Structure 1
Amino acid sequence: MELEVRHLRALCAIAETGSLHKAARQLGVTQPSLTAQLRRIERALDGELFLRDRTGCRPTPFGREVLGRARPLLDGMASLLAEARAAAGGPRLRVGSTASRALPGWLRRLRRRLPDTETSLLVDVSANALLRMVAAGRLDVAFVHEVEGSPLRIPPGLDVRVLVEREPQFVSLARDHPAARHEVVDLADLAGDRWMVDPSVDGEWAGLRRVLAAAGLDPPYLHADYHTAAALIVTGDAVAPCQPTSGPREDMAIRPLRGDPLAVRLLLAQPPGADPAVYADLLAAYREAALTSAGYRSWLVRVGSPLLGVA
C-alpha cells in the first residue's frame, strides 16, 4: 500500500480532532471505514500511530513523527491548488461555517455584491477545523461559534471579529412537554429529561455538562447529530440546546432558558487584509435571521440588544 494525500489528510484529521468519530464526520466518511483505513495505514508503515481509549485518540511517538512530515505536505498541496485555481479562473470566495440560519442570507448578499466571484460554502461541525482551514489557505473566511467556557484554538495570524459577544442558547422540547407551557423555561423544569448533545461539535458537550452540573443536575445524555435529535425531541425522549434563530415547528417547542445559562460567542475569521465588507454582509444576514424568529426577537427586545438598531 502506497500512502496518498487522502491518507495523510485522514491522519491529520484524527490527530486534530482527537477522535475517530469527529474525524470521520469532518472527512465525510463513516467511523468504521476510517478505522479500517487507519489500520491499513499502520500496517503499511509497520507501526502504531495512535493510542486509542475511551477518551479518544492520541498520537504515539511514531505517530507524532509521521504527522510532523504529513502536515507540511498537506499545507503545501493546499497552497499549490489554491494558486493554480486562482491562476486558472476568476476570483473565488471560499466560505466556511458552522451551522447557522444566517447562511442563506449571507450567501445571497455575497453573491449580489460580488456577482463575478465564484462563492462556495463548506459547513462543518468543528469550528476549530474551519479556523485551521482559513489559516492554511483552504478557506477565505469562516463564521464559527465558540461555546462559553470552551475557548477555540485560534491559529496565529488570523483577523477575528466578534459578530455577537453572547448569543443565548435556547432549548428545544416536545410541544406537549409540561415546560413548554411557559414562555421561559427553568433548568429545574427539565430535571427529569434526557439531554441530547452532538459530541463532535467543539466544546458543546463540555459546556452543557458544566452548566447542568452548576444547576445541580446530572441527567443522562444521548449522543447524536441534531438532525437525528429532532425525532427524539418531538416524541419526548429528549431535550436539546438549540440556536435561538431556530425556526418554529408544529411538533416542537423552542424556549429561552431563564438566566441564559448556555451561550456562545459568534466570530468571523479572515486572513489579514481580506474584504471587510464580508463582515457587514454577515451581520445584516444574522440580524435578518434573528428578527425572523419570534422567540429570539422577543428576547432581543427584552435585553435591549444593539442588534435591534443595526441598519
Structure 2
Amino acid sequence: MDLEVRHLRALCAIADSGSLHRAARELGMSQPSLTTQLRRIENSLGGQLFIRERTGCRPTPLGRTVLSRARPLITEMRELVTDAKAAAARAAGPRLRIGSTASRALPGWLRRLRSRLPGTETSLHMDVSANALLRLVASGQLDVAFVHEVDGCPLRVPEGLAVRVLVEREAQSVTLAADHPAAANPVVKLADLADDQWMVDPTVDGEWDGMRRMLQAAGLNPRVLHGDYLTAFSLVASGEVVTVCQPTSRPRPDTVIRPLAGDPIGVRLFLAGRAGVCEPDLDVAYEELAGAYEELGK
C-alpha cells in the first residue's frame, strides 16, 4: 500500500481529535471505514500508530514520528491547492464562496452581498459541522465561513485564518410545546424542565458537550434523544422533547421559544477567512453579515 495525502490527513485527524469516531465524522466517512484504513496504514508501515483506549486514541512513538513528517507535507499540499484555486478563480472572474452553519441571517446576508457585489458570483455551502467549514476555508474550497462556537467547546481554527467576531456570546434559548406548563413563563428555569426529555444533534460541533455540561451544572440528568433538529422541532410540537435553540429562531406551529434563566449556555458567532489572501472579501462579508444580523432584531 502506497501512502497518499488522504492517508496522512486521516492520521492527523485521528491525532487532533483523539477519537476515531470524531475523526471519521470530520473526514466525512464512517468509523468502520476509517478503522479499516488505519489498520491498512499500520500494516503498510509495519507498526502500530495509535493506542486505542476507552477514552480515545493517542499516538505511539512511531505514530508521533510519522505525524511529525506528515503535518508539513499536508500544509505544503494545502498551500499548493489554495494557490492553484485562487489563480483559477481570478481567471474565471470574481466569486465569493460562503460556508455557514444554520442561521436565520442567511437570506438577508446573501441579499445584501448580491446588492453590494453585483458582478460577483455568490454561492452557499451549508454544513452542521463548524470545524468542517473552517477546514474548507483553510484548504481554499471556501472563501469565508460563518460559524458558531459553543461555550466550553472551542473550535479548531486552522492556522492562517483571520477571524471577525460578530457576537462574543449569544445566550441560547429553549423551544418547547406551546401547552407545556413552563411556556406560560417569560423566562424558563432549567429546574422546570427536569422531567422532560431533551433532544440534541450530536453532529453539530460542541452541541452535545455544551448541553450536557449545562444540564449537569443544574443537577439534571434527563433522558436525551439524539437526532437532527428538523425532527426535533416536530417532536417539540407534540410535547415529546424540549431542545436548545438560537434566540433568533422563529417558533414553529404549536411551539414557543423562551430564554433560559441565568443564560446557562451561549455561543460565539464569528466569520473566518484566509488571512491576507481573502481579507478584503472577509471585511465586506462581515459588514453585510452584521447588517443582516441587525435586521433580525428589528
Q: TM-score, normalised by structure 1?
A: 0.79
* Alpha-carbon RMSD: 2.9
* Alignment-derived partner of residue 84 in structure 2: 84
Query: What letter corresponds to residue 290 of structure 2 in structure 1?
Result: L
Q: 1 CA distance for matches of 2:252 and 2:30?
A: 30
Report the CA distance between 1:164 and its aligned residue.
1.3
Identity %: 68
* Alignment-derived partner of residue 19 in structure 2: 19
Aligned residues of 2:105 and 2:292 also touching (Cα < 8 A):
yes
Where in structure 1 do 4 or more consecutive aligned residues deviate above 6 Å? none
Classify the secondary structure of the residue corresponding to 1:2.
coil
What pairs up with 1:229-244 in 2 under 5 angstroms? 229-244=232-247
Classify the secondary structure of the residue corresponding to 1:201.
coil
Report the CA distance between 1:192 and its aligned residue.
1.1
Question: 1:256 pairs with 255, 259, 274, which one?
Answer: 259
What pairs up with 1:284-299 in 2 under 5 angstroms? 284-288=291-295, 290-291=296-297
* Alignment-derived partner of residue 304 in structure 1: none
* Alignment-derived partner of residue 282 in structure 1: 289
What pairs up with 1:294-309 in 2 under 5 angstroms? none
* Residues 60, 140 of structure 1: alpha-carbon distance in 2 compared, 3 angstrom cutoff: farther
* Alignment-derived partner of residue 266 in structure 1: 269
Note the alpha carbon deviations across 1:143-195, whole angstroms, 9 max, x for none: 22222234444455543222112212111223443323333221111011232
Query: What letter corresponds to residue 142 of structure 1 in structure 2?
Result: A
Q: 1 CA distance for matches of 2:111 and 2:242?
A: 33
* Alignment-derived partner of residue 175 in structure 2: 172
Report the CA distance between 1:223 and its aligned residue.
3.4
Report the CA distance between 1:251 and its aligned residue.
4.3
- Kindly indicate whether residue 193 of structure 2 is the aligned counterpart of residue 186 of structure 1: no
Report the CA distance between 1:232 and its aligned residue.
4.2
Q: Which runs of 5+ in 2 are unaligned?
A: none
Classify the secondary structure of the residue corresponding to 1:87.
helix
Report the CA distance between 1:135 and its aligned residue.
4.7
Aligned residues of 1:134 and 1:270 also touching (Cα < 8 A):
yes
Classify the secondary structure of the residue corresponding to 1:241.
strand
Question: 1:207 pairs with 207, 210, 213, which one?
Answer: 210
What pairs up with 1:83-232 in 2 under 5 angstroms? 83-88=83-88, 89-135=92-138, 137-155=140-158, 158-232=161-235
> How many equivalent pairs are there?
291
* Alignment-derived partner of residue 8 in structure 1: 8
Report the CA distance between 1:267 and its aligned residue.
1.5
Q: 2 CA distance for matches of 1:176 and 1:34?
A: 45
Note the alpha carbon deviations across 1:228-276, whole angstroms, 9 max, x for none: 4345434434322111222321143332212322211211223445122
Q: Which runs of 5+ in 1 are unaligned?
A: 292-307
Classify the secondary structure of the residue corresponding to 1:248.
coil
Aligned residues of 1:21 and 1:200 also touching (Cα < 8 A):
no
* Alignment-derived partner of residue 302 in structure 1: none
Query: What letter corresponds to residue 284 of structure 2 in structure 1?
Result: A
